[in-house]
Amino acid sequence: MDMKVGRLRASGPKRKRGPGRPQKSANGDDARERILDAAENLFAHHGLDAVSVRDVARKAHVDTALVHYYFATKRGVFDAVFQRRAAILNKERIAMIDAYEAAPGPGGVTVEGLIEAFLSPLFDASVKGGPKWKDYFALIAQVNNNPDWGGETMARFFDPVIRHLIAALRRALPSARDEDLFWSYHFLSGALTLTFAQTGRIDLLSDGLCKSTDFAAASARLSRYIAAGFEAVCVSRSIVRKRTK
Amino acid sequence: MDMKVGRLRASGPKRKRGPGRPQKSANGDDARERILDAAENLFAHHGLDAVSVRDVARKAHVDTALVHYYFATKRGVFDAVFQRRAAILNKERIAMIDAYEAAPGPGGVTVEGLIEAFLSPLFDASVKGGPKWKDYFALIAQVNNNPDWGGETMARFFDPVIRHLIAALRRALPSARDEDLFWSYHFLSGALTLTFAQTGRIDLLSDGLCKSTDFAAASARLSRYIAAGFEAVCVSRSIVRKRTK
DNA sequence: CGAATAATTCATCACCCGGTGAATTTTTTG
DNA sequence: CAAAAAATTCACCGGGTGATGAATTATTCG
């Protein structure tokens, strides 16, 4: 009986910098990068399961075998796409929160200020960063709402930043309960990711008055909306809470 | 030349009540119903594209051909699942909004009261209605965040109720702009559907303090959270708006 | 140049997919 | 009971899927 023998080929070549490099290196037109871009775009717009490795390869003008050469498996492609922009983003977001806490406006640290610091790198990237960043955020929206492996994946990449935000919120709202903070963040997460998902939903609902792609409009409202939600839920209402619980 | 001839077989049998009925009819154990239940569960937990017709048939203890006999295509199965509970739900939600507007508490109609009327049939069904209803709501979460056809599908089934809610909110907040109302609803929609998606995300983030399955806890917070968001965004701040716009 | 190494392609495998037409079985009707 | 109709199964098709090993091309290094 021949059991399925595990793949021996490692996940891609040894990445030493020197020898045998591809056509272009300083340029962003490596085949590897093209594959990631193609996958990012397709996964974001159609979901992981609706896109085949062949689709990705075709869009990247590359043979399917090359995709497996670099990333071993389809899930490997996905992970690489997901990871590529996460690190940059997370560093910025933590820096923004810290900077705001170190020098808030007159009146001190507010919930809205913290939320805005937490969100601004995302909206900045999606507005100024070009379509690839928009694709990336749409991809995150997909993952965040995936019931299979979404929760685990999001936790792996984004929990540090989020815990950082929640710690800061805890300082800004000393009377808040942790459950209230976590649920409030959960609602924020849902509102944010649906906005990033660009489903065209709001376009249809509003008969064209609002556009899914108009992140500036979303950004102008979201921080205020969410901050008000946090304050309404997290600021001492223990009497009411006991009644509803 | 033989062009692909359209399917001649109609989408299922003639549904007259009399002849040739299956094993059980009054009971909910029809094969047709079993297929819908199986599909509902699988689509909700894994997404439409990750589930095959064979998976559904296997779970329903039925041949794949029977699935096509009743629903013609995989998408047909999905539509039937989606539609099955939508009508019931929408009728209840409109009734709740109307009832609340007709007899609000002392102090008149509030945003929180409207939101709660709008949401309560959902949480009621998911808490009291058993696991099939939870599956259904998880399925809605999938659809709402699907960038391909989610926006259009949600619009087709739920826009009437939502427009009804927004009309009521417009009466409760006469100074609100429509863009603000639509964006505010959009955020509500995202927060709600991520909650229904049951991704386990909040469980991991909170180290088990909060549970994705605890709809009672979510329900206890969501209306207040969202109402505060609506009021913060939609109540006259035209001076500020002009600056950010 | 020529050897070494990385990048890329080619041909292919075993399997799963959605869907269909023709039997076959079950149920209802007269 | 027989005839009719509905429900269900069986066998199958064409095509797509993720993945792989061997061959081929491009690049770098000595």
The CATH number of residue A38's host domain is: 1.10.10.60
Domain boundary among B16, B46, B71: B71
Residues A159 and A184 in one domain: yes
Domain boundary among B44, B71, B98: B71
In a domain, A155, yes or no: yes
- CA A123 to each of CA A40, A47, A54, A91, B221: distance values in angstroms, whole numbers, following the listed order: 18, 22, 32, 15, 27
Residues A147 and A186 in one domain: yes
**Between chains, do A194 and B197 touch, taking CB under 8 Å as contact?**
no
Residues A48 and A123 in one domain: no
Q: What kind and span of H or E run contains A214?
A: none
Q: Is B142 in contact with B190 (CB distance < 8 Å)?
A: no
**Between chains, do B182 and A190 touch, taking CB under 8 Å as contact?**
no
Q: Does residue B160 sit at the A interface (CB-CB below 8 Å)?
A: no
Residues with Cβ within 8 Å of residue B228, at least 6 apart in sequence = A228, A229, A231, A232, A233
**Between chains, do B201 and A155 touch, taking CB under 8 Å as contact?**
yes
Which residue of chain A is at minimal alpha-carbon distance from B210?
A: A179
Q: How far is the CA of A57 from the C1' of C15 (A)?
A: 21
Range of the domain at A42: 31-71
| Measured distance CA(B212)–CA(B234) in Å, rounded | 30
| Measured distance CA(B118)–CA(B92) in Å, rounded | 9
The pLDDT of A73-102, averaged and rounded, is 97
pTM of the model: 0.90
Residues A66 and A148 in one domain: no
Residues B63 and B122 in one domain: no
Which residue of chain A is at minimal alpha-carbon distance from B179?
A: A210
Q: Which of residues 28-47 of B touch A (CB under 8 A)?
A: 44-47
Instruction: Please tell me the predicted confidence (pLDDT) of residue A24.
Output: 43
Domain boundary among B39, B71, B103: B71
Please state whether strand D lies within 7 Å of residue B16 at its CB atom: yes
**Between chains, do A183 and B210 touch, taking CB under 8 Å as contact?**
yes
Q: Does residue B218 sit at the A interface (CB-CB below 8 Å)?
A: yes
List chain B residues with pLDDT less than 50. Answer: 1-11, 15-26, 239, 241-245
| Measured distance CA(B25)–CA(B29) in Å, rounded | 7
Per residue in A28-39, pLDDT (tens digit) is: 579 999 999 999
**Between chains, do A152 and B200 touch, taking CB under 8 Å as contact?**
yes
Residues B136 and B59 in one domain: no
Please state whether strand D lies within 7 Å of residue A18 at its CB atom: yes
Q: Does residue A159 sit at the B interface (CB-CB below 8 Å)?
A: yes
Q: B44, B245, B184: which is closest to A146 by C-alpha?
A: B44
Q: Is A42 in contact with A59 (CB distance < 8 Å)?
A: yes
Comparing every residue's Cα with the C1' atom of nucleotide C8, the nearest one is: A66
Query: A86-102 burial by CB neighbour count: b if 16+ within 10 A, else e?
Result: beebbebbbebbeebbe
Instruction: Please tell me the predicted confidence (pLDDT) of residue B206.
Output: 97
Residues A46 and A96 in one domain: no
The pLDDT of A214-242, averaged and rounded, is 86
Residues A176 and A140 in one domain: yes
Q: Does residue B94 sit at the A interface (CB-CB below 8 Å)?
A: no
In a domain, B10, yes or no: no
Please state whether strand D lies within 7 Å of residue A3 at its CB atom: no
Residues A233 and A139 in one domain: yes
In a domain, B234, yes or no: yes
Looking at the 3D structure of chain A, how many domains does it have? 2
Q: Is A190 in contact with B194 (CB distance < 8 Å)?
A: yes
Residues A104 and A40 in one domain: no
DSSP letters spanning B229-243: HHHHHHSS-HHHHHH
In a domain, A10, yes or no: no
End-to-end CA distance of chain B: 59
More reliable by pLDDT, A236 or A193: A193
**Between chains, do A195 and B190 touch, taking CB under 8 Å as contact?**
yes
CATH number at residue A113: 1.10.357.10
Within its chain, how far is the Cα of B149 from the centroid? Answer: 15
Residues B226 and B107 in one domain: yes
In a domain, B93, yes or no: yes
Both tokens assigned to B23: 């094993």
In a domain, A233, yes or no: yes
Residues of B in contact with A180 (CB under 8 A): 221
Residues A123 and A182 in one domain: yes
Q: What are phi and psi of B30, to 5 degrees?
A: -55, 150
Q: Does residue B150 sit at the A interface (CB-CB below 8 Å)?
A: yes
In a domain, B205, yes or no: yes
Is A21 a residue whose pLDDT tops 80? no
More reliable by pLDDT, A27 or B188: B188
More reliable by pLDDT, A129 or B1: A129
The pLDDT of A57-79, averaged and rounded, is 98
Instruction: Please tell me the predicted confidence (pLDDT) of residue A237.
Output: 65
In a domain, A80, yes or no: no
Instruction: Please tell me the predicted confidence (pLDDT) of residue A238.
Output: 52
Confidence of residue A12 (pLDDT cuts 50, 70, 90): low
Residues with Cβ within 8 Å of residue B184, at least 6 apart in sequence = A221, A225, B226, B229, B230, B233, B234
Residues of B in contact with A148 (CB under 8 A): 45-47, 50
Instruction: Please tell me the predicted confidence (pLDDT) of residue B29.
Output: 72
| Measured distance CA(B118)–CA(B223) in Å, rounded | 9
Please state whether strand D lies within 7 Å of residue B49 at its CB atom: no
